[in-house]
Structure 1
Amino acid sequence: MAESWVNSAERIGADLHLELSGAEAGGRRAALIRALREAVRSRRLAPGTLLPPYRSLAADLGVARNTVADAYAELVAEGWLTARQGSGTRVAERAEPSGSRSRVPKKTPPHARGPRHDLRQGTPDASSFPRAAWLASYRRALQQAPNEVFGPGDPAGRRELRGALAEYLARARGVRAEPERIVICSGFAHALRLLFAGPGAVLRGPLAVESYGLGFHRELLAAASVRTVPLSLDEDGARVGELDRERAVLLTPAHQFPTGGPLHPSRRAAVVDWARARGGVILEDDYDGEFRYDRRPVGALQGLDPERVVHIGSVSKSLSPALRLGWMVLPERYVEGVLAAKGEREAWVSVLDQLALADFVASGSYDRHVRRMRQRYRGRRDRLVATLAARAPHVEVTGIAAGLHAVLRLPPGTEPSVVKAAAWQGVALDGLAAFRHPQAPASAPDGLVVGYATPAEHAYGAALDALGEVLPPG
């Protein structure tokens, strides 16, 4: 009895998709050679790829074993493949035979090479991800997970994670929350989509926003037909007294992004009073609230009125943006609408990652990691300030000692040239103007937004030296 394709594939090799077109012209051997040659030339088979054994590929294609052996031998002779006893047949590292490539050297465009020093904001030190502790939490979560975890996910998020977050946010951020009011999402952008997008949007514009913020968020809101109205900023944060007929306001009260100041206590109280009087809602982006270096972190605005504030957080700054894990702590009246917007099944966030994060928080590993990174980033900021004091004392670091970035105040009119010079020298950073709302006043200070958390520890000193080279003279 002939072996089925399924049984043979499971026993003797990996799958390789080839179409033997034109087999009648020259036979199956020639067609197989053409198909393999084209797969290598097009890089569908990358250099070093291990090809299936003769018997396996012959069974899959319905050809004789000798046909495959002869095709492999010819392509080895031509330089497309390599064969070594005990190592099988692989795609040659050159990927094309000698003489088939143009000998004209190709220059890699500057943007393809990437920056030599990355000082862009928004990203934690990737080399500091707590791999061992995360792996331990993931292993425990996987071992203890009930069978129903591997079915469709609850759109609200796993109860284990919502419970762990309710405890942590109350303890560390002063958030007043029950697990039933927490909805898991993939991050702040996802939260905005759930709140504003679609015909059944939970919230509608116009939405007041701070005059400096992420353009990506403004574009997302514009795509949902939400008009944003900028609030001006001063040393006390957003001027919430400018709020008028808006239905909602988006703030970064713990650490204004990107200018770096906190919302003054009197303005915190004032914006809550506005929400109560107008029936409005405050969206609190608590993007790096744990990272305050000059004093204990300020508690979340949500604690002043849980029924008027949507508290939004994530692990993008504290752990890694690669995890795609965030949360909303919602007023009771919005929970049902957000869950309806999310759908009947979890479609965004891995349930296993949720369970791992729940264990990571409950075991104390999250607290330990945040405390460790708080010390490291404080040291990074101190080194930045010291470097500027020594090499560019005319460049001021503004804002509070917090977060993963700092704003450097530049002499008037120098921002565009400094950003251009930095790019030319391979230093990736952003000018302050890139974050200004299009309708905000253009007469704003010149500055740089420097992400001191982004480089790995061993690369940070060289990045600061390179930054010093591009700053304007005093």
Structure 2
Amino acid sequence: MTVQWAGLSPELLLGIDRSSGEQLRVQVERQLRDAIRGGRLAAGERLPSSRELARSLGLSRGLVQECYAQLRAEGYLVTRVGSATRVAACTPLATLVEPSAERTAQPPRLMADFRHGVPDLASFPRADWLWAVREAARRMPTADLGYGDPRGSLDLRTVVAAYLRRIRASAAEPDRTLICSGYAQGLALTLQVLARAGIGAVAHEDPGSPASTSAAVRAAGLTPVPVPVDTRGIDVTALEASGARAVVVTPAHQWPTGVLLTPQRRHALLAWARRHDAYVIEDDYDAEFRYDREPVGSLQGLAADRVISIGTVSKSLAPALRIGWLLSPPALTTPLTEAKRTADRGTPTLDQSALARLIESGRYDRHLRRMRTLYAARCQALRAALTKHAPQVRLTGLAAGFHAVAHLPDDADEPTVITAARARRVGLYGMSTCRASGSTEPSQLVLGFGDVPEQAIAQGIATVGDLLGHGRRPKAGIRS
């Protein structure tokens, strides 16, 4: 896609060497040809006006006009009455360079893609966000446009801390709150600081997010240790035997099983942390979207000296915002602040201020209420579709969030089901990618419905219902 430059005249970098002995006109023509042939200037792209290019190069306008005329005659440029000079659509580059097969071969469009971890992107509150950005720009002091505190703007830290105290029962204070660029950065900074503190092994839930979590742990020079999860959450006895002095958990809605960390396990986990001078990294995943009862409080609220809690707006608003927060224990606040300063000098301040206005105004809470209703309806649509088209499949993990676990029949083959569903233009994703071992047994699917409309849910499940409910039998004949 060609960029259509706005403004009176786009700038263009060309160099003129008056000591080379080469004619100035020849230099300009040669550089323009090279820019077009090499792809610097794309077909359809607008060139500066002859007056502006002449001014920027210190040449006469007539000389530039002659260069443009020569290149038009050679087929490199086109000019229409009332329009700017542009690169011709049929340039020599277009005839010499064939589009790559990778670029032209597009995968078939899916009728339903049950990918997980993605909210309903179409429901992003654009009008509210635009209001918040305007309000932030209007109210922001000039001094706040500098680099500022690497922990983030005091404005957003104050609002987030108050919000988390109210909604999550967190022991949040602005001075120990850091604003980060999403969960990934918050986790990376935390692991760096723990590594410097002498911690060598970090446990994580299994099943969980072994690819991303293990990669982050290894990137910090630490050793990842998978610890099993059962119906009550992470197995603290197994954690005790792992030798780890830090653990990453999702207690509000375990990813991906959806189980809630029970009160007994919560207290056992925090007791483990105190006994071993260890830290719990709380991924406050899906805490905003609970349907069976009010959200449970955060672990951090029970032990602010032992828990690093990381939250974001990636699920509640959109991943593109790249805004999250980290609640730090007192002992780690200074090293975390220095790690953030080294990483990027701070998260964009205008976006922080806009988020503060959105939360403070009540528009954020209103958006969350609307999304809970939307996701609850999609959850019910998934239940209904499976009941109708694959009643043998059991669903769990539906108490919160926007994904569920589908337990396939005992004789089902997870990879076969996924491949067959893809042939019918339905995207399914297996639990095997969430297991540290990669095992495909037992056969389970993680069905995300956050970004799948109700109609697509019904149509998608109807299309693959026989695959889900009849184990290996579909391998003999797959519908197209």
Task: Indicate the TM-score class for this superposition, using the shorter chain for normalisation.
Answer: 0.7 to 0.9
Match of 1:171 among 166, 170, 179: 166
Q: What are the residue-to-residue correspondences of 1:220-239 with 2, within 5 Å?
A: 220-239=216-235
Structure-2 separation of matches of 1:466 and 1:101: 44
For 2:287, the aligned partner's letter is G
1:49-198 to 2 correspondences below 5 Å? 49-92=45-88, 94=89, 96=91, 100=95, 108=103, 110=105, 117-197=112-192
Corresponding position of 1:289: 287
User: Out of 372, 375, 383, which is 1:377 matched to?
Assistant: 375
- Deviation track 1:302-356 (CA, whole Å, cap 9, x = no partner) reads 2222222111101111111111111111221111121122227962410111111
Following the alignment from structure 2 to structure 1, what is the Cα–Cα distance between the partners of residues 239 and 150?
34
Give distance in 2, aligned partners of 1:196 and 1:306.
17
Matches within 5 A, 1:417-456: 417-438=416-437, 442=439, 444-455=441-452
User: Do structure 1's residue 260 and structure 2's residue 258 form an aligned pair?
Assistant: yes
Q: Is the 1:120–1:450 contact (alpha carbons within 8 Å) kept by the matching residues of 2? A: yes
- CA distance in 1 between partners of 2:233 and 2:213 (Å): 19
Q: Per the alignment, in what secondary structure is the counterpart of residue 67 of structure 1? A: helix
Please, which moves more after superposition, 156-165 or 402-411? 402-411
Q: CA contact under 8 A between 2:195 and 2:220: conserved in structure 1?
A: no
Distance 1:166 1:95, change over 3 A: farther
- Aligned residues of 1:142 and 1:352 also touching (Cα < 8 A): yes
Q: Specify every segment of 5 or more residues in structure 2 that has no aligned partner in the other structure, as ranges.
A: 1-6, 472-480
TM-score w.r.t. the length of structure 2 is: 0.87
Report how many aligned residue pairs link the two structures.
461
Q: Equivalent residues in 2 for 1:406-417 (5 A)?
A: 406-412=404-410, 413-417=412-416
* Distance (whole Å) between structure 1 residues aligned to residue 376 and residue 137 of structure 2: 35
3-state DSSP of counterpart to 1:449:
strand
Instruction: Give me the whole-angstrom Cα distance separating, in 2, the residues matched to 1:216 and 1:435.
Output: 10
Code of the residue aligned with 2:398 in structure 1: it is: I
Q: Structure 2 vs 1, CA of residues 105 and 361 (structure 1 numbering), >3 Å: closer, same or farther?
A: closer
The answer to whether the Cα contact below 8 Å between 1:213 and 1:435 also exists between their aligned partners in 2 is: yes
Which AA in structure 2 matches 1:349?
Answer: T
With 310-319 and 409-418 compared, the bigger mean Cα shift is at 409-418
Amino acid in the other structure paired with 1:341:
A
Choose which of 239, 246, 253 in structure 2 pairs with 1:243: 239
| Structure 1 residues not aligned, in runs of 5+ | 1-10
What is aligned with 1:312? 310
SS of residue matched to 1:76: helix
Deviation at 1:285, TM superposition (A): 0.4
Moved more, 363-372 or 38-47: 38-47
Measured on the aligned residues, the alpha-carbon RMSD in Å equals 3.1
Letter in 2 for 1:100: T
Deviation at 1:381, TM superposition (A): 1.5
Shift of 1:13: 3.2
Aligned residue identity for 1:118: D
Q: Distance in 1 between matches of 2:41 and 2:130?
A: 32
**Are 2:382 and 2:458, in contact at CA under 8 Å, matched by a contact in 1?**
no
Amino acid at match of 1:314: T
Q: Does 1:201 align with 2:201?
A: no
2:193 touches 2:336 (CA, 8 Å); kept in 1? no
User: Which residue in 1 is equivalent to 2:38?
Assistant: 42
Relative to 1, partners in 2 of residues 1:420 and 1:152: Cα closer, same or farther, differing over 3 Å?
Answer: same
Judge conservation of contact 1:202–1:337 (CA < 8 Å) in 2.
no
Q: Could you say what secondary structure the match of 1:73 adopts?
A: helix
**Equivalence map 1:353-368=2 (5 Å):** 353-368=351-366
- Which of 128-137 and 342-351 deviates more? 342-351
Distance 1:23 1:382 in 2: 76
* Counterpart code for 2:206: S
Give 3-state SS (helix, strand or coil) of 1:377's partner: helix
Q: Check 1:42–1:179 CA distance in 2 against 1; reply closer, same or farther (3 A cut).
A: same
Partner-residue secondary structure (3-state), 1:100: helix
Q: CA deviation at 1:278?
A: 2.4
**Paired residues of 1:240 and 1:270 also in contact (CA < 8 A):** yes
Mapped partners of 1:117, 1:150: distance in 2: 44
How many angstroms does 1:39 deviate by? 2.3
Question: How far apart in 2 are the matches of 1:207 and 1:236?
Answer: 21
Match of 2:14 in 1: 18
Distance 2:107 2:162 in 1: 45
Partner AA of 2:318 in structure 1:
S
Q: Are the aligned partners of 1:155 and 1:345 in contact in 2 as well (CA < 8 Å)?
A: no
Change (3 A) 1:109 1:54: closer
Match of 2:301, SS state, is helix
